[in-house]
A and B are shown apart, each in its own frame.
Chain A
Amino acid sequence: MIDLTINTDLATKIITGFIKSELNRMGFKKALMGVSGGIDSALSLYFSAMALGPENVLAVRMPYKTSPPETLEDAQTMIDALGVQSMTIEITDMVDPLINLHEDMTKLRAGNIMARMRMIVLYDQSVAFNGLVMGTSNKTEMLLGYSTVYGDSAAALQPIGDLFKTQVRQLARALGVPEQVIQKAPSADLWIGQTDEGELGFTYADVDKLLYLLVDQRYRPEDCVKEGFNKDFVDRVLGLMRKNHFKRVMPPIAKLSQRTIGYDFLYLRDWGT
């Protein structure tokens, strides 16, 4: 029996402390994030409001013309419930010129363009708002590499990056995120009708259990198969983890000198604070 249940009070204590401490050490009091109406950004928003006070948090809604209106409404419901600051910047007019420039544009490319445009909007608002961009990535999507590099993966802090999607759902419920946000099929909203689970070909509930054994509990792949996981599923997940590792690390630097950033020039980001 694989049980991913966590103590939500303890998780909340550690994560809100992390947000406040690390933001302050970087010299900031405020944070902003894209709020899509989905569960990950919802949880990051709730934690940020708890850690920093709602007046110090800016929720940015960045719909594209095909974004379902209910996602905007769900985001507004949470903005109102928390009392955080908010703004809406539609990205359609920013991304369509580039999308329409190429006849061979694919939906994957268009989706990545949207994700990166949202990053540009957030980092621009970061200066205007004098706050840092809060990440909304969870452990499952980071391990699978289900993100757009320099798009939704771009952030100053990753408060929920060590929580599996299953645990994100548990925490969201404990913090009072609206039920329709929790129940909604997870989607990157990069094209109409896209769902994470449809695109990945497996459910988060299943892959979280496998990732928990492979990563957290250090099971060998063959031991996961003995535990009842389909071998093709295990191989597929391992392949995604390996193939997308580049999204989790800084780009390697060609080493030439006696001392090179990343290899033998080693400091935490909290250096001196």
Chain B
Amino acid sequence: MKINLALAQFNTQLGNVQANLQKHLDLIDQAVAQNVDLMIFPELSLTGYALQDLAIPSAIRPHQKDPVFYALLEASQKLDLMVGFVHEDQRHKFYIAAAYLAGGRIIHIHNKVYLPTYGMFDEGRFFAPGDAIRAFKTRFGKVGMLICEDFWHASPPYLLWLDGADILLFQSASPGRGLNQDPRLSSSAWVEHTNRAYAGLFTNFVAHANRVGYEDGLNFWGGSTIFDPNGDLVVRAPDFEPALTVAEIDLNQLHRSRARLPLLRDERTALVLRELERIQGAA
């Protein structure tokens, strides 16, 4: 099975959900014209990233009647979508979240588990941490979604892999940092390095959408990528420039890679669990 994947690398307006929704719909139109099957937007694509006190008025309770979700759910009749938003739950906790929409339905919502609250980051001050990492079924097989800091930790991609995800969908709003002599920022190089590693270590597809633009002095570096189950680069969007990057991926590559390299077959989850319990007990 071959599918067309699109990475929507774009800039947002900070706290202006309506303006950002319109950008989503415009980009979706462009993707539909290119026969895209699955389209991935960056982290907090409906709101912008450094929201601070704008987090609360930007929040959405995701259901059919919400006007923003209604428009996106309508669009999801034409192609599957992964979007980023501020999720307000039933008890009014606010999360950085990703929603997977397909066929007019909300298929899955992932609440960001790891909220960076150090250095320039202050997410834990404004948001509640998610508490679940689950793969879910789509018409392309099982997939898993993670948001930025979630995949700076090794365990969430690992859990999704064991939970059945053959395609890892990553979204981020990654502020560029670490200027040195290299032609790319050290943050860009690091994220691409780890994404390639996950693809190779898990013999999985790894698709990553990162935003561009600026918020005050922060720059967002783009460079969205897809890696295949051999860890080879399928496509890379340009650094710093907005781009709708479309690439065909061949899901049969999973068969070929795992026939050659049966890392998933040989993974010893019982051993991992036993050792984790021992480590937890010792602590």
A-side interface residues toward B, CB under 8 Å? 3, 5-7, 9-11, 13-14, 17-18, 21-22, 158, 162, 265-273
From DSSP, what is the main secondary structure of chain A's interface residues? loop
Distance between A173 CB and nearest chain B CB, rounded to angstroms: 15
Q: Which residues of A contact B16 (CB under 8 A)?
A: 272-273
Q: Which residues of A contact B52 (CB under 8 A)?
A: 266-268
Q: Which residues of A contact B181 (CB under 8 A)?
A: 3, 5-7
How far, in angstroms, from A5 to B216 measured CA to CA in the complex? 25
Q: Which residues of A contact B15 (CB under 8 A)?
A: 271-272
Q: Which residues of B contact A22 (CB under 8 A)?
A: 214, 216-217
Q: How large is the interface on B (under 10, 10 to 19, 20 to 34, 35 or more residues)?
A: 20 to 34
Contact A7 B179 (CB under 8 A): yes
Contact B14 A7 (CB under 8 A): no
Interface string of B179-207 (1 = CB under 8 A from A): 11111110000000000000000000000
Distance between A155 CB and nearest chain B CB, rounded to angstroms: 13
Q: Which residues of A contact B214 (CB under 8 A)?
A: 17-18, 21-22, 270
* Interchain pairs with CB closer than 8 A, number: 63
Contact B14 A273 (CB under 8 A): yes
From DSSP, what is the main secondary structure of chain B's interface residues? loop
Check A272/B13 contact, CB under 8 A, given A10-B185, A267-B52. Answer: yes
How far, in angstroms, from A228 to B213 measured CA to CA in the complex? 41
Q: Which residues between 211 and 269 of chain B lie within 8 Å of chain A, taking CB atoms?
A: 213-217, 219, 240
Q: Which residues of B contact A270 (CB under 8 A)?
A: 14, 214-216
How far, in angstroms, from A170 to B267 measured CA to CA in the complex? 51
How far, in angstroms, from A21 to B185 measured CA to CA in the complex? 19
Contact B240 A267 (CB under 8 A): no
Known: A7-B183, A273-B14. 12 other contacts (CB 8 A): A5-B180, A5-B181, A7-B180, A7-B182, A10-B184, A14-B176, A22-B216, A158-B217, A266-B52, A268-B14, A270-B214, A273-B16
Distance between A267 CB and nearest chain B CB, rounded to angstroms: 6
Nearest-CB residue, chain B, relative to A4:
B180
How far, in angstroms, from A269 to B216 measured CA to CA in the complex? 6
Q: Which residues of B contact A13 (CB under 8 A)?
A: 240
Contact B54 A267 (CB under 8 A): yes
Partner of B183, one of A10, A18, A162, A265: A10
Nearest-CB residue, chain A, relative to B221:
A14
Contact B183 A9 (CB under 8 A): yes
Partner of A271, one of B14, B176, B183, B213: B14
Check A11/B179 contact, CB under 8 A, given A270-B216, A271-B15. Answer: yes
Indicate if B53 sits at the interface (CB-CB under 8 A).
yes
Partner of B180, one of A6, A18, A158, A273: A6
How far, in angstroms, from A18 to B53 measured CA to CA in the complex? 23
Q: Which residues between 142 and 184 of chain B lie within 8 Å of chain A, taking CB atoms?
A: 176, 179-184
Q: Which residues of B contact A14 (CB under 8 A)?
A: 176, 179, 219, 240
Interface string of B40-76 (1 = CB under 8 A from A): 0000000000101110000000000000000000000
Q: Which residues of B contact A162 (CB under 8 A)?
A: 217
Partner of A273, one of B13, B176, B179, B240: B13
How far, in angstroms, from A271 to B179 measured CA to CA in the complex? 27
